[in-house]
Amino acid sequence: MFLARRHQVALAVTALLAAGAACQAHERQPPQRPGPPASSAARGFTLVASGDVIPHSSVIERAQFDAGGTGYDFRPMFEDAKPVVSRADLALCHMETVYGANGFYTGSPVFRSPPEIAQALAATGYDGCSTASNHSLDDGVAGVQRTLDALDGAGVRHAGTARSPSEADSVTLLRAGPAKVAHLAYTYGTSSPVPQGQPWTVDLLDENRIRADAKAARKAGADVVVVSLHWGTEWQDAPDDRQLAVARTLTASRTGDRPDIDLILGTHAHVPQAYEKVNGTWVVYGMGDQIAGEMFNLQGVQDPRGNESTVARFTFVPPARAGGRWEVARAEFVPQQFDVDAGRVVDLNEALARGAGVQGVRDRIRDVVLSRGAAKDGLVMGE
């Protein structure tokens, strides 16, 4: 990830925004939100998930400005994402960085983010976040501790890193309408070494481990098992061979006639990647960066794709018979962009409706998302 100067010319949407301004199980009932009527909730639930939250230095500075110069307020950044996130029965984010302490915050290449971002995630409507990434150990075990403490304090659940062996062995089990959803998270590796004698600090991507954890989550009571994977090749629109192979392996894992994993959510590549149904299970190879500063690709060229993302939205319905699989009845994606000048997430469909010149960006994201034939399996662009 690379961060340099900010844009000198604002996006067209900036003006509009300025003008408009063996496992243990842990379970939490999410707060009440506006959503479907009771009859709909009794039939199933809607899950949304979004991409990498990466507070570069300019993002941290913007949060300080939005707080009036005292402290940090990340809530305004998420305002345009809030309608989609808060109306879901279950909302998951990806917190790529760890939190710093005592005002010592850094944006790149070693990330230490203000813990106030946890409050913003909660205010936006997120119920849980994956925390396994290549930056999970940027501030060692202390960074993991601070991050999970802050998320706990905000009421946001987490999966992928742990403060103790017992926490690492537990299942993050969340309530989504009538269902219990297990959230598991893993990363391909870490930029800093895993602490000696503490391998449980971060969950590393290993197919056999993931399959075993998914089976254990099902035994712990999960109706639906969701796996977040920090994987792939940075700046590559198409999933790489490793992603494709892992997706095939994990979606083929079954216990009896029921798949062990019901949904895979990908992060890390910095750009939106395709959605695809593999062995009957939806795989989102990469959701892109939901929040990040100005991004420069591997050639050192400023690349606006690094500020583009999607929100994945899946509506699950219960099985026809007890013990069967919860099926995805509707699969959607919502295209987003982070306006680095305004310091705001932009819902591109909403921005386009307001007259912003973002159709080219919106359509490019759509083409990438549908590039592996997901439309034939029912994936649509949502509002």
Question: Residues 279, 251: contact at Cβ < 8 Å?
Answer: yes
Average pLDDT, the chain: 90
Query: How large a percentage of the chain has pLDDT more than 70?
Result: 89
Is the predicted pLDDT of residue 37 greater than 70, yes or no? no
How is the chain split into domains, by residue range?
12-121+132-347
Give the model's pLDDT for residue 69. 83
Q: Collect all residues with Cβ–Cβ distance below 8 Å to 19 and sequence separation of at least 6.
A: none
Q: How confident is the model at residue 322 (pLDDT cuts 50, 70, 90)?
A: confident
CATH of 12-121+132-347, one of 3.60.21.10, 3.30.750.210, 3.20.20.70, 3.40.1280.10: 3.60.21.10
Name the helix (H) or strand (E) containing 252. Answer: helix 241-252
Give the model's pLDDT for residue 43. 79
CB half-sphere exposure, 41, CA atoms < 13 A: 15
d(CA 262, CA 241): 21
Give the model's pLDDT for residue 11. 36
Write out the two tokens for 42. 């009794």
Per-residue pLDDT tens digits for 262-271 = 999 999 999 9
Per-residue pLDDT tens digits for 166-195 = 999 999 999 999 999 999 999 999 999 999
d(CA 289, CA 49): 12
Give the model's pLDDT for residue 383. 87
Q: How confident is the model at residue 323 (pLDDT cuts 50, 70, 90)?
A: confident
Q: Collect all residues with Cβ–Cβ distance below 8 Å to 306 and sequence separation of at least 6.
A: 235, 270, 271, 289, 292, 294, 295, 296, 297
Is the predicted pLDDT of residue 284 greater than 50, yes or no? yes
Is the predicted pLDDT of residue 9 greater than 80, yes or no? no
